[in-house]
A and B are shown apart, each in its own frame.
Chain A
Amino acid sequence: MLSIVLTAVVALLGLALVFGILLGFAAVRFKVEGNPIVDQIDSLLPQTQCGQCGHPGCRPYAEGIAAGEAINKCPPGGEVTIQALADLLDVEAPSLDAEHGEEKPKTVAVIREDECIGCTKCIQACPIDAILGSAKHMHTVIASECTGCDLCVEPCPVDCIDMVPVDKGLAAWHWEAPKPLNIIATDSASYHGADAV
């Protein structure tokens, strides 16, 4: 009786040992360096480097997402970025986390040059060096490079920076989407007495 049990146990242990050794070899052979998914996540983020997600830049947030953080912390990216991240990672697309800010229309910073004192504080604050200028000389924002991250407004001691909405006029215009059709009456919000959207 005992010998049967012993044989069984030994057989199973032997099998497990063999498999263990094989897996050990495989683990070394198929070692993965770094985390390439971070690059793909980073390429979807808007690169404003604004810090609204709680990380000091977009790359650290990308690394955070790869480690399992929520994908709805980026206000400059907005719904579009959340959807793109959800598609990449095959997860649900939650709505933007209000704790980190809300989605605003795109703006650029404009310095009121009459009031600028040339202190360079905004130049040091800009994460992508989009402000031109040096000490005691006029500062100005390179509008085509500004991402509207807002980080230069706080440090300015004379508060001479405005965030102005971007309006590219005709070049930025494109056709609107046709109105969605509401074939099933109960699907539409107005049926239930809610305010029409």
Chain B
Amino acid sequence: MSDFALILVSTILVNNFVLVQFLGLCPFMGVSNKLETAMGMGLATTFVLTLSSLCSYLAFNYLLQPLGLEYLQTITFILVIAFVVQFTEMVVRKTSPVLYRVLGIFLPLITTNCAVLGVALLNIKKQNGFMESILYGFGAAVGFSMVLILFSAMRERIAVADVPTPFKGSAIGMITAGLMSLAFMGFTGLVNI
């Protein structure tokens, strides 16, 4: 049990995938203009990450390993992720057409989100068990969503503030992200995983 808590704390705070490991920066910068969009993206990514880390674990341990095809892990994981993202796209399109329209190209781009592939590969590297893999993926997604929501809330406020013209838009966004990353450095050493 405490292992699970440690995994969650580690993936959400200490080794946050966006601000500490610098994975998944594309949707982080691209979808964080409005809070509602960011929340939708966070939910979609959570769904994708959890499901894909589960499917990747199953594919690796029950297909690749018995057949001695571990070297195919990258291609297999990409296949798994593509399937999960395609499925998620269909679900989002059905349940919320506005979110589907608003996320636009970023929804299929979750396929190329390095955080998703990163989670799958890191699970293998750490030789995580079944529950641990799922939790690792879920924790990574929660960390991603949390940071995305925080960042978009800040960006909404910055958008209406007195920002000097050269800094308006992505420039001040990048600076803010850098400062957030510095803040998250404070969690180093909290948990040793």
Contacts and interface: CB of A to CB of B under 8 A. Distances in A.
Direct A–B touching, Cβ under 8 Å: yes
Given A37-B98, A90-B102, A184-B164, A19 B83 contact: yes
B69 A89 contact: no
Nearest to A16: B79
Interface string B26-43: 000000011001000000
Interface string B70-96: 001001100110010011001101100
B101 A23 contact: no
A15 B63 contact: yes
Contact of A36 (B33, B97, B102): B97
A12 B79 contact: yes
A26 B83 CA distance: 11
Nearest to A31: B94
Contact of B90 (A12, A15, A26): A26
Nearest to B91: A30
A88 B37 CA distance: 11
Given A37-B98, A90-B33, A11 B67 contact: yes
B64 interface: yes
Contact of A32 (B59, B72, B94, B165): B94
Contacts of B129: none
A19 B86 CA distance: 10
B151 to A, nearest CB: 16
Given A7-B69, A187-B165, A12 B94 contact: no
Contacts, number: 64
Nearest to A90: B102
B101 A37 contact: yes
Nearest to A23: B86
A58 to B, nearest CB: 19
A30 B92 CA distance: 9
B162 interface: yes
Given A8-B72, A89-B101, A19 B67 contact: no
B61 to A, nearest CB: 13
Contact of A27 (B69, B90, B98, B102): B90
Tell me which of B37, B59, B69, B97 has the highest count of chain A C-beta atoms within 10 A of its own C-beta. B97
Q: How large is the interface on A (under 10, 10 to 19, 20 to 34, 35 or more residues)?
A: 20 to 34
A8 B101 CA distance: 38
Given A15-B76, A90-B34, A90-B104, A22 B93 contact: no
Contacts of B37: 90
Contact of A30 (B63, B79, B80, B94): B94
B166 to A, nearest CB: 10
A5 to B, nearest CB: 10
A89 B102 contact: yes
Contacts of B94: 30-32
Contacts of B72: 8, 11-12
A22 B83 contact: yes
A131 B82 CA distance: 58
Contact of B79 (A15, A32, A89): A15
B97 A12 contact: no
Interface in A84-99: 88-90
B63 A19 contact: no
Contacts of A124: none
Contacts of B87: 22-23, 26
Given A15-B76, A15-B80, 10 more contacts: A12-B75, A12-B76, A19-B79, A30-B91, A32-B97, A89-B102, A90-B102, A183-B162, A184-B165, A187-B165
16 contacts: A7-B68, A12-B72, A12-B76, A16-B79, A19-B83, A22-B87, A23-B83, A26-B90, A30-B94, A31-B94, A40-B98, A90-B33, A90-B34, A90-B102, A90-B104, A184-B162
